[in-house]
Amino acid sequence: MAVEQNGVSAGSTIGSGSTTVDWEQLKEAATAAMKKAYVPYSKFPVGAAALTADGRLVSGCNVENASYGLTLCAECALVGNLHMTGGGLLRAFYCVDSTGNVLMPCGRCRQLLYEFRAPDMELMTTQGIKTMDQVLPDAFGPQNLEDSSVN
């Protein structure tokens, strides 16, 4: 069952087959997700939204824990949502804070997003739209496990 987020159901199709990304719609979805964040300790809500290669919208928010190391970033929830709504690859990504400012994924989350990226995935950054390869150059991924051999 899809969850309604800012008028768009999670996992619903919003642009299947389109070659353009509606960055404003992604920002709105990220903002809607941010409003669902559980942040009783830091008071720093984060929301993320992404467009999949097949045109679905997925989103997530950060969820804190009293044991700080167990806190989940919004990107973790987004990837969980991706799999709950059919899997696939991410094509475009947007992340915001409570004032609507663009946030860059932390290193851990860049690695997480890399694993689920479409080859042409783009991210909205503080310096405009960039590719995943630009924000995580020389990334480690599944291909490295396939190429390695045990001596």
Which structural domain, as residue segments, surrounds residue 68?
A: 4-147
Query: Comparing 119 with 1, which gets the higher pLDDT?
Result: 119
Confidence check: pLDDT of 97 > 60: yes
CATH number at residue 40: 3.40.140.10
Q: What is the DSSP string of the chain?
A: -PPEETTEETT-BSSTT-SS--HHHHHHHHHHHHTT-B-TTT----EEEEEETTSBEEEEE-B--SSGGG-B-HHHHHHHHHHHTT---EEEEEEE-TT--B-PPPHHHHHHHHHTEEEEEEEEETTEEEEHHHHSTT---HHHHHH----
Confidence check: pLDDT of 9 > 90: no
How many domains does the chain divide into?
A: 1
Q: Out of 4, 28, 64, 75, which one is annotated catalytic?
A: 75
122 is catalytic: no
- 20 pLDDT band, cuts 50/70/90, is confident
